[in-house]
Structure 1
């Protein structure tokens, strides 16, 4: 049993190292400045797909974003296809080295991220309510600026290194 757990942990660690790095996108345009893009009102349209690729949830998000220097607030209002509503308020901070930290009420600890070229990558743990229980799941979240108005977002959700599904979003800046 211990050997199997060690093999699983080693495989998960190696798989995590094999992925792209945000610096891989350094030469890509348009150049992303998170503080400029996430400033004002944005609309987002998204889906959550399970491991098989089946759409499990569809949703829209109204985002009202503002910055005061290096500190930003992203106020997100989710509306799910079944009529369920959810609110998340991100409080972001741009560090001196260009990296970002983020906090929200349903985020466990601190989200850590950085931008390069047209991409932003961050990782965080979300306390996700499911059928009366709350599960801490990890998000590996990538955003790609397509134009000054459109950004695409793809986030992989996992627990204990096992992929549970993906969230795909399209942001449109008003």
Structure 2
């Protein structure tokens, strides 16, 4: 699948608009064979830094195994359909591309685990706008280029 496959779809998913304001969300994480691994509730909020044009986006996952994970994103639009992102646990930068209703976001992150350890995971997330207030995400997480889990996430602006 290519981001170009979505260039004529609407509504457009623009991170600099969708991630500004308050959001809530829910997630399920499955193994590749379909077994439920975890569930999560998500609370998030974002602001637009008018001086830099960057979106400062904070999202907290409250997982059903009792731990939480808070991400502090700085998302910058580099040009038409091109984005980069920083977060304090990233290896390098996140890279994003947008066309039509889709946003493709890839990054590697040292992800906290319930036992207090952290695991370096590669993420490959596809966001799809449903309307101006909701999106769905299908993501995968893996190591060394091999995916081992799938995430299904819904966000709603509140």
Give the TM-score of the pair, scaled to structure 1.
0.83
* Aligned with 2:104 (options 117, 121, 128): 121
The root-mean-square deviation of aligned C-alpha atoms, in Å, is: 1.5
State the match for 2:83 in structure 1.
100
State the match for 2:42 in structure 1.
61
Bigger Cα Rg? 1
State the match for 1:169 in structure 2.
153
* Aligned with 2:93 (options 110, 118, 139): 110
**Cα distance change of structure 1 residues 132 and 62 upon mapping to structure 2, 3 Å threshold:** closer
Identify the structure with the greater helix proportion. Answer: 1
Unpaired stretches in structure 1, ≥5 consecutive residues: 1-19
TM-superposed CA distance for 1:133, in Å, is 4.2
Q: Distance in 1 between matches of 2:97 and 2:36?
A: 29
Unpaired stretches in structure 2, ≥5 consecutive residues: none
Count how many residue pairs are aligned between Structure 1 and Structure 2.
155
Q: In structure 1, the residue corresponding to 2:84 is in which secondary structure?
A: strand
Q: Distance in 2 between matches of 1:172 and 1:41?
A: 9
Q: In structure 2, the residue corresponding to 1:36 is in which secondary structure?
A: helix
Q: How does 1:127-166 map to 2 (within 5 A)?
A: 127-130=110-113, 131=115, 133-166=117-150
Q: In structure 2, the residue corresponding to 1:52 is in which secondary structure?
A: coil
Q: In structure 1, the residue corresponding to 2:5 is in which secondary structure?
A: helix
Q: In structure 1, the residue corresponding to 2:88 is in which secondary structure?
A: coil
Q: Does 1:42 align with 2:7?
A: no
Q: In structure 2, the residue corresponding to 1:108 is in which secondary structure?
A: coil
Q: In structure 2, the residue corresponding to 1:120 is in which secondary structure?
A: strand
Once the two structures are superposed, what CA deviation does each residue of 1:71-122 show, in whole Å capped at 9, x if it has no partner? 0111112211233222111111111344111111121110000110000001
Q: Distance in 2 between matches of 1:66 and 1:129?
A: 25
State the match for 1:13 in structure 2.
none
Give the TM-score of the pair, scaled to structure 2.
0.91
Q: Distance in 2 between matches of 1:24 and 1:128?
A: 31
Q: In structure 2, the residue corresponding to 1:112 is in which secondary structure?
A: strand
